[in-house]
Chain A
Amino acid sequence: MKKTGIWIATGALLVTSGMAFAQGSISGKAILQGAAPAEKAIKMDADPYCAKTHATGVTTKHYIVGPGGGLANVFVYVKDGLAGKTFPVPKEAKLLDQQNCLYVPYVMGIQVGQLLQIQNDDSTLHNVHCMAKNNPEFNLGQPVKGMKSEKVFTKPEVMVQFKCDVHPWMFAYVGVLDHPFYAVTKEDGSFTITGLPPGEYTLEAWHHKGGTLTQKIKVEAGEAKAPDFIFKPKT
């Protein structure tokens, strides 16, 4: 018991000082090859509150494509290559918000054991229905604006779907991992995963419509450039 304690302490020390271990990072881009399929209009009139917050109309946002085909909302993570290693659980919580009858963010990552806060910023009823398969499924009603619930995942699971049964268009996807090496692509499709120990890894990129793509990558000290993840449009 004491022994492991020391190891963890030493490990933490080394990690925070950032000196003893050479660390690498991976950066890359997700690209959509071809034209994005047309998004569908979301009819929110079932709940007047939601309809009002989107007076100009709202569509699905399956494909958010930046210049050069950069594809946002792709969850990129280290799938293989970290077996046997453990990583401290971040103390800060992650937030899954409900704003104007949409989940924000649409795609996010979290670590096993890390606190997930789920918040309702709307003056309407949402129910947070977590459709986890590997973790316990749960369903929470949040009838009041500002209501906050807290949950923790106990097992890795990529991806966990969240939905709201009151507003059938509301979805969010959460990648649960037992390590911190993941990223969600930005509007331009780029991502960076930092702090990786050198080694050989399998990267997987997940997109809600485009499916998953994998590639192997070798990381040494410094920045490794991952080849682009090229998704084909699917409806």
Chain B
Amino acid sequence: MRNVPETVHEYNIPRLNVIFVVTSLLLLGSVVWMVYRDYTREWKTYQNKSQEFEKLKLILDVKGAETKAQEANIDQLLLQLRETRQKLDEEHGIVAQLAVTESLLKTALGVATSEYQAQKSNLDQLVSQYDAMVELNPDDPLLSKKMEQIKRQREMLLQKKAVMDAAKTNHDTADAQLAKAKEAEIDLDKQVRKLTKERDLAGSKLDKLTNVRLNLVDRIPMLEFAAPFTRIQQVITEDQKYDLNFTQVSRMDRCSTCHAFIEKKDGLEPGQQGFRYSGLPHPWRSHPRLDVFLSPDSPHPVQKFGCSTCHLGWDRGVGFMSAAHTPQFYPVEKEYVYCDGLKRWMEPSTFSGLEQNYQSSHDALGSWKTSLEERRDKLAREISGKDTSQPDLAVKKDDLVRVKQDLGQVSRILASLPPVENVEKAKKESSTQARIWHDQYGWHPIHHKEDPMRPKEFVESSCLKCHLNVTWIPQKPLPEGTNGPNTGDKINQAIRLVEQAGCYACHRIQQLETTAKHKVEAGETLQAIANRYSSEPQMILASNGLTKPEDLKIGRDITVPIRVPTDRAAPTLAKIPAKVTQEWMEKWLLNPKEFRANTYMPQFWGLDNNRAGMKYTSQDGKQTFDWADRNIAEIHAITEFVFHRADATVDSPAPPPGNPENGKKLVAEVGCYGCHVEKETWEQIPAKDRMFRTRGPMLSGGGSKYSPGWLYAWLKDPSQYHEATRMPNLRLSDSDAADIASYLLQDKNHVFDEKKIPDVKPGVVDDMVVDYLQTKMPLNEAQEKCKGMSADEKNQFAGEKLVRRYGCYSCHQIRGLETEKPVSIELSDWAGKKVTQFDFGFIHMQEKNHYGFLHQKLSNPRSFDRISAKRPQEYLKMPQYNFNEEQIDLIMTAIMSLTSEKPTPASAAHLDDSQWQIENGRWLIKELNCAGCHVVEGRGGAIYAKIEQPFMRPPILAGVGIRVRPDWLYHFIKQPGDHKYRYWLNARMPTFNLTDTQMNALIRYFALLDKQPYPFEKATMAGFHPSQALVPAGERLLIDFKCLSCHAVVTPEKARENGKAAPNLMMVKDRMRPDGIIPWLNNPGDTSRPNPVTPGFGLMPPNWPDQGPSPFTNVLDGNVQTQIEAVRDYLMTYEGPPH
């Protein structure tokens, strides 16, 4: 070394070495770091854990399948199979021999057949020679010789045929024996496979997960890329797209990367022990209601709909934050516990679900292990030192091998399973989902994500994206053994509330409108178009800006509105002076809820931007006015204007004196509470009933409000006051109407009555008039013009301006303003707006998003401009509804569903022709509020809670299309008073003023709902003739079954006193479809299904319980179905009780 001359370098070698070492180490370090970061990515840790759970589940599946197989006696089957196979092996020689024999015989048969054929042709030849010889010379001596020859040949032919037949029989026998021997084996093999399939499937999955080599090698960092145990999972939904920079992008949902078991069903009965995916914490927990979502057999399979279609969020994100998870909107403080085993926070209920999973796995595995050990020892004893070629011992030997394998796996998994007691809660705290997420995932509010996930509370907002054109979002009944709110309840209630509160009247919401596009064809009348779409001629003209039917030119494209509200959202003001006084209206406008606590009429004055004590500057800038005075001036002007515009009305004469006690009784009895609530109990009514019972106003404060004459006339016939009113006619007699009026007038709101409206200050009115005049002219001209106006002119002028500003005409009919456009912005794409488009004004929010803005807007709409230098008419004008939190939540749910994002036609809920027609009826059922009194499609019956005795309740409307004749239904709906089928009911079917289009829509609805043909050729009596042979037996049965114990017609009073009554059988022949009586008699009052053919309150006992036997064996040989037919045929001729 010393001899080598030292090279001289420009640079310092040792230093360079140091740099090299350091950089190498840095590089190595960063590579290791990168690999480590990749190896421990969030989603990989979840997937690794999910494999642990998967192992647990699989081993339990194996056990379950094993138990099932044992119960199905698989040991016996295996033994049989083995024996059969062995027998087959032994018999193989015989079988083969048979086969050889068969083929030999077949050959022989072939030879014999051809010999037979040759023989036959030989014979035929001889016969024809013989014939020819006879013809030539009948006396030819050779003829007899020829005949001898023919006879011999004939005998030979017969012999050959016998040989052939024998061969055939032998062959067939052998063939059958062969097939049979084989068949037994095939059949057994099939049975065994069926029993072991489930086990083998779970077993092979488990093998892969627990394979030592795979687990050692394939989980090594870097190598794992080759055959990854963990990989990103994704669903690409062709149909579900979203808008990304003006292009439509398919959703690529990677959610199941972490939510590994999201679509896995538990496969257990309620209460059954076992492993439940639904009992795991997030992200492993399975989705709720798999019968509705994700499963391939559900209406929303994950392959088609993905996840972000409903939940929103960043579809490609595989991290907690990048997927844009959003915590609950309402910060609920609740208990959380920490699971050491999983290093996760969770709710106590989730924790106990997890514990149960561990516990049942431990128990099951432990007991299985013990039984496997026992089995192993037993099998080992039985075969030790014996010849295992015997079938029964061979089976045992195989069994032992499997038992040992299972035991190995069970032991391995048991060893790796965390002991139950280690999975324990470490801490308890009160926290919110957002705070827990912060601790767990470092979650923080996000501002830059465009579509963050929906908070859990609002996920049903997504339903409306696809389920357009329907009255109710379809719902599946809750699975058995569960209760609580159902999927879809919230969005359905939300839409009903938006309708009832009239949001759509001021804000156009296209999602709530149903229209059809139509091109007018030659010869098509307006009425024909209306009929075709179940629409109304006037509505078609109005929505196309037309005035006369002649304007419908051929080829013109028109919009046909379908399923529109039958009336405006609020009462008409066209004849208001007949109903209330001007003073009442002014006090009402000041604070509607003070008069009626549940009204949907909002408050416009005395709010956060126009409260008493708040000041504004006059138009000339010289004075300061108090908002209290301006409010009074505005209210007075509006009232003056509305009363002035109304029709001149003659005062209704005072009603005859009534009995309020009887009135109270009648209100409860005739059915008022199907649509109205009473002030004492309205807050306790469950939401599912409330949506029906708030169709009309609360029955309170009548004495403070109504003109007695008006009320009396209204009760008797609401349509004389307002033709389009939703209030139907209850056909009250004069005295009933007087009694009800006197009862309703008895209730007064004293606080309201004592309230005084302050005097209007002329200076404030002038300033208000100048404020509005200034939109057209300069200040001095406006002031000048104002001076020249009379007090009434000022009120009329300002009143109209104010009515237009606040949009009163949107909900109320006001003469001259009937066709004005909605007063406020359209909401059809509100949820699709960017947060930056919202003016939060003076409101400060920690997190600015749609939900926060909407919540503030709905709870306090005027809070956004509390202090302002605007002119009074520029202030925010959205009124205050004083909604409660539940209502705000519902309206938010509805509004958040309004986006312009459209599903592709393939995934939009499609309505076929019959569904479309059903929807027309459903809409009417909703508009007429039929479900206030009846249960329709499992919904409603709101009045039932007010009628204690089931036999006094209005009927359940199910199976109507099957049971009731359409012609009868038509007459009944038209003139309900003419029909006394349930003559004892106090509740009255009201008379609705329906058009023929509406009548047809309803009847068609009932028919199509029950899959009955429409129109109803088959439905009527045509073609039905009661069997004269059966009628006497039917009569006999009616007597024997003592049907008239309940069906005898008595007076309504007597029936109610008896506490029982049943329909008038004399009307059966007019009312019932002959086919429809049969299912009813077979199973009366079957309420076991959601929409039974034979609904009822269970009052009619099944006379042939459980389909028989009949208690009367002497009639028609006791044949149940014939007896039922006999009763039907008799009822179809029934004119009255038999003598």
Contact = CB atoms under 8 A, between A and B. Distances in A.
Given A143-B1042, A144-B1111, A166-B1046, A127 B1101 contact: yes
B1085 interface: yes
A168 B1098 contact: no
A141 B1105 contact: yes
A172 to B, nearest CB: 16
Interface of A: 46-47, 124-125, 127-129, 137, 139-144, 147, 149, 165-166, 168
B1108 to A, nearest CB: 13
A45 to B, nearest CB: 9
Interface residues of B, number: 19
B1058 A139 contact: no
> Which residue among A129, A137, A139, A147 has the maximum number of chain B CB atoms within 10 Å of its CB?
A139
Contact of A129 (B1041, B1046, B1058, B1101): B1101
A125 B1098 contact: no
Nearest to A128: B1101
B1103 interface: yes
10 pairs of A and B residues whose beta carbons are closest in the complex:
A168-B1059, A141-B1101, A125-B1042, A127-B1101, A46-B1058, A139-B1101, A141-B1103, A143-B1041, A125-B1045, A166-B1045
Contact of B1101 (A47, A124, A140): A140
Contact of B1041 (A128, A137, A141, A149): A141
B1098 A47 contact: no
13 contacts: A124-B1045, A127-B1101, A129-B1098, A139-B1099, A139-B1102, A141-B1102, A143-B1040, A143-B1042, A143-B1111, A165-B1099, A165-B1101, A166-B1046, A168-B1059
B1085 A139 contact: yes
Interface string B1091-1115: 0000000111111010000011000
Given A129-B1101, A139-B1098, 5 more contacts: A125-B1041, A141-B1101, A147-B1111, A165-B1046, A165-B1099
Contacts of B1098: 129, 137, 139
Contacts of A125: 1041-1042, 1045
A124 B1058 contact: no
Contacts of B1102: 139-141
Given A46-B1058, A168-B1059, A124 B1099 contact: no
A140 B1059 CA distance: 19
B1060 interface: yes
A168 B948 CA distance: 14
| Interface of chain B, main secondary structure | loop
Contacts of B1105: 140-141, 149
Nearest to B1084: A139
Contacts of B951: 165
A168 B1060 contact: yes
A125 B1102 CA distance: 12
A144 B1040 CA distance: 8
A140 B1100 CA distance: 9
Contact of B1045 (A47, A128, A129): A47
Nearest to B950: A165
B1058 A168 contact: yes
B1041 A166 contact: no
Interface string B1039-1066: 0111001100000000000111000000
B1060 A165 contact: yes
B375 to A, nearest CB: 14
Contacts of A166: 1045-1046, 1060
> Which residue among B951, B1085, B1105 has the maximum number of chain A CB atoms within 10 Å of its CB?
B1105
A33 B1101 CA distance: 40
A149 B1098 CA distance: 18
A165 B1062 CA distance: 10
Contacts of B1041: 125, 141, 143
Contacts of B1085: 139
Nearest to B1048: A46
Contacts of A141: 1041, 1101-1103, 1105
A127 B1099 CA distance: 9
A119 B1041 CA distance: 16
Interface string B854-885: 00000000000000000000000000000000
B1084 to A, nearest CB: 8
Given A137-B1098, A140-B1102, A124 B1060 contact: no
A187 B729 CA distance: 57
Contacts of B1058: 46, 168
Contacts of B1100: 139
Contacts of B1103: 141, 143
A166 B1103 CA distance: 13
Interface in B1021-1080: 1040-1042, 1045-1046, 1058-1060
A98 to B, nearest CB: 13
> Which residue among A124, A125, A141 has the maximum number of chain B CB atoms within 10 Å of its CB?
A141
A125 B1045 CA distance: 7
B196 to A, nearest CB: 22
Contacts of A144: 1040, 1111-1112
Nearest to B949: A168
Contacts of B1046: 165-166
A168 B1054 CA distance: 13
A139 B1103 CA distance: 9
A171 to B, nearest CB: 12
